[in-house]
Structure 1
Amino acid sequence: MLKKSMLGILGILLIVLAACSGGDDSSQGSGGSNEEVTIEIWDYLQPDSSSAREQEALIEQYQEENPHVTFKRTYMPFADLKTRLLQGIGAGELPDIVLIDNPDHQSFIEAGVFADITDMVEDWGEIDQYFEGPVASAMMDDRYYGIPNNSNALAIYYNETMFEEAGIEELPETWDELYDVADQLTDEGVRGFAMSGVKSEEGTYQFLPYLWQAGADLDSFDSDAGIEAMSYIQEMVQEGIISSNMINWDQSDVLVQFQTEQAAMMENGPWQIPILEEEFPDLEWSVMLMPEGADGTASILGGENWAITEDSEVKEEAWEFIKWTQEPDVLGPMHELGGRLPSRADVGNDEQYEWAQDENMKIFMEQLETAQPRAYGANYPEISNLVQEAIQRAITGEDVEEVMKSTAEQITPLLP
């Protein structure tokens, strides 16, 4: 993971060099055709971000190797992209390729936006190299409507200095152990643990792993296990181990609590690693796996998928480009530059990359093996809103059993 802007530029050049080294004619469009073609891509990669620079580098290199292909890339803010996709169905104004947030993938499948590319994926023969969770996020009814591009998951960051000063030698592995360690680390001005419970997708993202660890899911939200999951978080708030301000914190706010040593541990993703390393070089910290509940450990999948739209007239050419982006010598340098994790296990295990060398990145790669997708069909955005409201109600002191039961009544009709 490269940290300085000059290294970032060099990293982009490495992508180009790595791609050039392939010398494979398989990227020459459908069947190697040199027929002129334009491929339109929509994404939400913010201008001047490392992710956007990667995207532009990929497109530029592919065009150099395939001069008959021209790309038209359009950036849209995250929420605008989803709106434009829905508007574009009726108007016939969709792009050929979309880079989509993986929890939104299934809702757009059901809306008829994305093409069934099962035959292409099966003929490709490499999908078995991918982690199960990322692949599931791009599927519906055992059919492929895209493939994973990059992934992330949640894990637990901890302050090594605080652990040492408190005499904590063993890392907590279970709910009970995490609770006890967090309680022990809670002191004046310091909370033992920090997580987001904000009323947005980030709140749902940070809570669902506990639901799964307990042995529940959205279709059993009000089960004993589901009630136990929410009670676990509520109790830590009531005991002062987690700040009640978690309902106002997004994941960046949680990072601030950890950076400023107002929290001894935090639940967060791998994208925070370069920030900690660059902005707080003197802070001693490491990462550990999410705790085990009654049903074992689990994390949650984040990241983005590639998809081809149903109305595209250049599906085969679009697939050739997507397939090329997944070649290990293209995919690896691209994700290392952006601080993202590959969805392919073979690339994830490649020792030349930092995620296979750095001990903290290794934890996130290991966590991907238990990272579950938010694959709950077209109504997931509405379901997520209900989960967010349940978190807010529980953290502000409402009876957890009543919260879970009333929320389950609303969620159940929305599930596929």
Structure 2
Amino acid sequence: MSKRFNRRSRSAVISVAAVSVLVAGAALTGCGRQRDSSVYTVLNSSTDETYHRWDAQAMARCGELLGVTVEQQSVPAAQVMTKALRMASSKSLPDIVQFDASEMPTFAEAGGLIDLRTLGLGTEDVPRGIVNFGSYRGTYYGAARSVNTLALFYNKDILRQAGLKVPATWAELRETAKKLTRGKRYGLALSAGGAEDGVFQFTPFMWSNGGDETRLDGPEVVQALDYWKSLLRDGSLSKSTVGWTQADVNDQFMAGNAAMMINGPWQVETLNTKKSLHWGIARIPVPKAGDPSVGPLGGAVLTVPNTGDERRERMAGKIVACLSSEREQLTYALNSWMVPANEKAAAVWRERVPELDALADQVAAARSRTAKLGAGWPQVSLALQSAFQAALTGQSSQAALQRAQQRATSGN
């Protein structure tokens, strides 16, 4: 869930019916404008200068290999879906769209994407969980170059000075966070804001406790939210956590206002700019020793829209295959601190960045947010976002999650 792929808002949730009307027209009528047969376009969210440069370099290498020119059109992450829909309505869909994996099922369900296996892309060296990450109802629509998840980051100096070890269970995390809370410094920082950031950060607590997004008012989910409330009640979390994004959390950690934080590898580049900050990383604590730490898979997938132009779709498939090749995945992952989706590339990555080995372990047990609900995930996410805001500002977790379940089921 890199910082480029986590800016969904309530207004960004678009119904499958609306998507279907737009993409069906695009697929049936093909491209509405004449295109240069040697130029291919990728719509992505690489608006950050470094990511845009890395992507441009990768596209140039693949373009040279395939004898075409590959250009990128970058918009903020929250605008990728709406931009793709506008382009579909004007019959000008790009050749490749890089969707956040949580959004891809909506476009796929509407019939807007091509099965990548029919374009020659295989998944032999990709773990099943990551194949599922790019699939919808068993069809492989999205190739991931890299994936990410969440982990526990901690300030080595603060823990050492306090004589404390890195917590591994909920009880240990609560006790450690309480002991590390001093003055303006909180023991832990996390995002519980009313956006996808907060939901992304809640899933490890929900899933590791046996909770399920198909039953938001189940006892395991209630217990997980109650645990968050206990951290807030202890004073170990700032009351501002209900409004923090994951970027805000990182800012607090870097400023010394939090001894530990829940965050992802996309923050590493920024963390490393502060040479005096000695940080470590560990799996997210679990309810009790021996429980699996199950986090969310985050990131984006490269897809080929169904435009009706089979020749361009075949070449787009070759471009996706090149961008998601073992070599390109490793290059991209080493630049961005993400974990390669390809198992062979991931093995090399572990050797090259041993300080993030715990993250690779966390990825191995991670799961996709849309695995069970597909295109229904955005509605559940919105319901959970409202539940956090209500529960962390006074309402009982049970009542907040009962309302969330009602919203997720009824759609309002």
The two structures have a TM-score, normalised by structure 1, of 0.84
- Structure 1 position 259 matched with structure 2 position 254: yes
Give the alignment partner of residue 289 of structure 1, picking from 272, 283, 297: 283
SS of 1:311's equivalent in the other structure is coil
Provide the rounded CA distance (Å) in 1 between the counterparts of 2:175 and 2:191. 20
SS at match of 1:235: helix
Cα distance, 1:368–1:385 mapped onto 2, change above 3 Å: same
Q: Deviations over 1:207-246 (max 9, x none)?
A: 1111101101111211110110100001110110111110
Q: List per-residue Cα deviations over 1:260-294 (Å, max 9, x = no partner).
A: 2221110011111121111x211222111111226
Q: What are the superposed Cα offsets for residues 291-345 of structure 1, whole Å, 9 maximum, x if unpaired? A: 1226531111111101000115212111111111222223212321233321112
- Would the aligned equivalents of 1:40 and 1:71 in 2 still touch at CA under 8 Å? yes
Task: Kindly indicate whether the alpha-carbon contact (under 8 Å) linking 1:106 and 1:137 is maintained by their aligned counterparts in 2.
Answer: no
Equivalent-residue separation in structure 2 for 1:412 and 1:330 (angstroms): 41
Displacement, 1:372? 1.5
Question: Residue 316 of structure 2 corresponds to which residue in structure 1?
Answer: 318
Distance 1:333 1:82 in 2: 27
Tell me the residue number matched to 1:190.
185
Maintained 8 Å contact 1:331/1:342: yes
Shift of 1:72: 4.1
Pairs within 5 Å for 1:47-86: 49-67=49-67, 69-86=68-85
**Matches of 2:69 and 2:246, distance apart in 1:** 38
Matches within 5 A, 1:321-340: 321-340=319-338
Residue among 148, 151, 174 paired with 2:147: 151
Q: Does 1:346 align with 2:344?
A: yes
Match of 1:392 in 2: 389
Does 1:45 find its partner at 2:43?
no
Aligned with residue 142 of structure 1, among 138, 146, 154 = 138
Aligned equivalent of 1:200: 195
CA distance in 2, matches of 1:219, 1:66: 44
1:44-78 CA distances to partner (integer Å, 9 max, x unpaired)?
2115x2221122112222232333x2334322222
1:179-227 superposed Cα distances (whole Å, 9 cap, x missing partner): 1211221222221111011111111111111110110111121111011
The letter for the 2-side match of 1:316 is: R
* Offset at residue 90 of structure 1 (A): 4.0
Q: Deviations over 1:119-172 (max 9, x none)?
A: 345xx44x132233332121122111121122111000111122112211x322
| Structure 2 stretches lacking a partner, 5+ long | 1-35
Alignment of 1:183-262 (within 5 A): 183-262=178-257
Other-structure match for 1:179: 174
Flag the 1:53–1:383 CA change in 2: closer, same or farther, 3 A: same
Letter in 1 for 2:407: Q
Report the AA paired with residue 57 of structure 1: Q
Quote the Cα distance in structure 2 between the aligned partners of 1:195 and 1:345. Answer: 30
- How far off its partner does 1:413 sit? 4.7
Flag the 1:112–1:87 CA change in 2: closer, same or farther, 3 A. Answer: farther
Kept after mapping to 2: 8 A contact 1:96/1:312: no
Indicate conservation of the 8 Å contact 1:152/1:368, yes or no.
Answer: yes
**Partner-residue secondary structure (3-state), 2:98:** strand
How many residues matched? 370
- C-alpha RMSD of matched pairs (Å): 1.9
Contact conserved, 1:157 with 1:266, CA < 8 A, in 2? yes
By how many angstroms is 1:175 displaced? 1.2
Asked whether the 8 Å contact 1:111–1:378 carries over to 2, the reply is no
Instruction: Tell me the secondary structure at the aligned position of residue 235 of structure 2.
Output: coil
Measure, in 2, the Cα distance between the counterparts of 1:356 and 1:140.
Answer: 32
Do the aligned residues in 2 keep the contact of 1:45 with 1:51 (CA within 8 Å)? yes
- The letter of the residue matching 1:41 is V
Structure 2 partner of 1:26:
none
Does the Cα contact within 8 Å between 2:159 and 2:166 map onto a contact in 1?
no
Name the CA distance, whole Å, in 2 between partners of 1:171 and 1:81. Answer: 39
User: How far 1:43 sits from its partner (Å)?
Assistant: 1.1
Identity of aligned residues (%): 26
**Using a 3 Å threshold, how does the CA distance of structure 1 residues 41 and 284 change in structure 2: closer, same or farther?**
closer
- What is the alpha-carbon distance in structure 2 between the residues aligned to residue 283 and residue 37 of structure 1? 48
- Equivalent residues of 1:335, 1:341 under 8 A apart: yes
Secondary structure of 2:300's counterpart equals strand
CA distance in 2, matches of 1:357, 1:116: 33
Q: Is the partner of 1:220 in helix, strand or coil?
A: coil
- Tell me which moved more, 170-179 or 196-205: 170-179
Q: The residue matched to 1:331 in structure 2 has which SS?
A: helix
CA–CA separation in structure 1 for the residues paired with 2:125 and 2:356: 19
**Correspondence for 2:114:** 115
